[in-house]
Amino acid sequence: MPTEERSAEALISESDLVEIIKRRIGDGDSLGIDEVGVGDDAAVLRSEPGHLVLTADAMVDGVHFLSNSMSWHDIGWKCTVSNQSDIAAMGALPEFAVLTLALPATTRIVDLQDLLDGVIGALTKFGGQLVGGDTVASETTMVNIALTGRLCRQDRPLTRKSALPGQQVAVTGPLGGSAGGLAILQTRVSAENRLGNREDEAKLLEAHFRPVPRVDAVPTLVGAGIECAMDISDGLLIDLERICVASGVDAVIHADRVPMAPNLKTSFPEKAREFALTGGEDYELLYVGDADALSSVKAKRNCDADGFGVIGEIIAPRGAGGEVTVLDEAGLKVEFDGKGWDHFAGSSGAN
């Protein structure tokens, strides 16, 4: 029976997977005449001269999300956004994506359609085109996306290893919203555990389920001469530490300068600072540059309006490099139980 005649509640088959995806994105009709899209053994795409940026990211049920607390749409969206954020962190714009799905046999057609809504929705909004992929049966749901991108400034990617003493550290927007949303999910076991303000709760949950990759900021950062950046996926402190290790430097962060989502401060006043510094999956960009470059970014982005701001500075290493010190308003050292998320050690911070 043709897929379109079957109930959306029906369980998927391999032919369903291929046909549904082909109907959603076409079989190459949007590509060039000598290019090949979904439906063949592999995609064939024309590549212009220059550097190609490649990334891949996977989300596994029970590790990166809980399918009983997250919609299929949000699963597809979040996996796509994490890849777009990695592309942006390299100073590039998203181009082509391939999708690999490992799905239980109990997956319904409507679930697949909702997941594609999330994937295609994020690609449409932030850049990129789905051109193929693979499917496999599995007891555990896994969504993997591989994404290509093109550098905004050829031959000059943004990297983690180019931070220098005397440069400033900045972020592209408020942090901690996703960690706040996760905290709501973890404590919502009864009606009494809901926040007093439903609007705050909804916005924090949206920050967790529907994060926004800062692809829009890439041309500004590249145009200003920024050379060092990465996305904040595991937490500000642990990600800045990675820059410091790669560059052989140390850093100082001023906690009172780190922008936080307004809903985070009102909902978790005692945890807001910790969430902002150690919570992951905000997908803002962390970048480093000299004062002139950051002034150029500020002038172009109107930092006071959208959260761009300087939060610290790079200093000469006291040892091999990699130490990040956090200071409060009085200049006293602030310490947290953890720095962020480690995929193999588990969460050591707020998210």
What CATH number corresponds to the domain at position 245?
A: 3.90.650.10
Which residues are bridge partners to 52 per DSSP?
Answer: 150
Question: Which backbone phi and psi does 44 adopt, to 5 degrees?
Answer: -125, 120
Q: For the ranges 5-19, 229-243, 248-262, which has the lowest average pLDDT?
A: 5-19
Average pLDDT over the chain, rounded to an integer: 84
Clarify whether residues 214 and 140 are in a common domain.
Answer: no
Under the banding of pLDDT at 50, 70 and 90, the label for residue 45 is: low
Look at residues 151, 178, 210 and tell me which one is the last residue of a structural domain: 151
Separation CA 112–CA 141 (nearest Å): 11
What is residue 85's predicted lDDT score, i.e. its pLDDT?
96
Under DSSP, the state recorded for 45 is -
Clarify whether residues 281 and 251 are in a common domain.
Answer: yes
Clarify whether residues 330 and 198 are in a common domain.
Answer: yes
Identify each DSSP E strand in 176-328 by its residue range: 228-231, 250-254, 285-289, 309-315, 324-327
The Cα-based distances of 91 to 84, 147, 170 in angstroms read 11, 14, 15
| 161 found inside a domain | no
| 158 found inside a domain | no
What is residue 3's predicted lDDT score, i.e. its pLDDT?
45
User: Range of 221's domain?
Assistant: 168-347
What is residue 221's predicted lDDT score, i.e. its pLDDT?
95
Locus of tokens 């220098």: 164
Clarify whether residues 235 and 99 are in a common domain.
Answer: no
Look at residues 116, 151, 186 and tell me which one is the last residue of a structural domain: 151
Clarify whether residues 69 and 191 are in a common domain.
Answer: no
Average pLDDT over residues 222-248: 95
Write out pLDDT tens, residues 326-338: 999 999 999 887 6
Tell me which of 116 and 191 has the higher pLDDT.
Answer: 116
What is residue 70's predicted lDDT score, i.e. its pLDDT?
87
Clarify whether residues 140 and 187 are in a common domain.
Answer: no
How many other C-beta atoms are found inside a 10 Å radius of the C-beta of residue 46? Answer: 8
Clarify whether residues 297 and 199 are in a common domain.
Answer: yes
Clarify whether residues 109 and 193 are in a common domain.
Answer: no
Q: Measured at the alpha carbon of residue 335, what is the angle toward residues 330 and 336, in degrees to the nearest 5?
A: 135
The answer on pLDDT for 213 being more than 90 is yes
In a 3-state reduction of DSSP, which class is residue 11? strand
Clarify whether residues 185 and 132 are in a common domain.
Answer: no
Q: For the ranges 77-91, 148-162, 256-270, 303-317, which has the lowest average pLDDT?
A: 303-317
How many folded domains does the chain comprise?
2
| 25 found inside a domain | yes
Contacts of 248 (CB under 8 A, 6+ apart): 317, 320, 321
Clarify whether residues 103 and 204 are in a common domain.
Answer: no
DSSP 71-127: -HHHHHHHHHHHHHHHHHHTTEEEEEEEEEEEE-TT-BHHHHHHHHHHHHHHHHHHS
Separation CA 24–CA 195 (nearest Å): 38
What is residue 69's predicted lDDT score, i.e. its pLDDT?
81
Separation CA 279–CA 116 (nearest Å): 28
Clarify whether residues 215 and 340 are in a common domain.
Answer: yes
| 160 found inside a domain | no
Separation CA 74–CA 7 (nearest Å): 22
What is residue 163's predicted lDDT score, i.e. its pLDDT?
97
Q: pTM value?
A: 0.85
The answer on pLDDT for 152 being more than 60 is yes
Under the banding of pLDDT at 50, 70 and 90, the label for residue 34 is: low
Residue 83 · residue 134 · CB < 8 Å:
no
The Cα-based distances of 107 to 83, 86, 111, 114 in angstroms read 24, 29, 6, 11
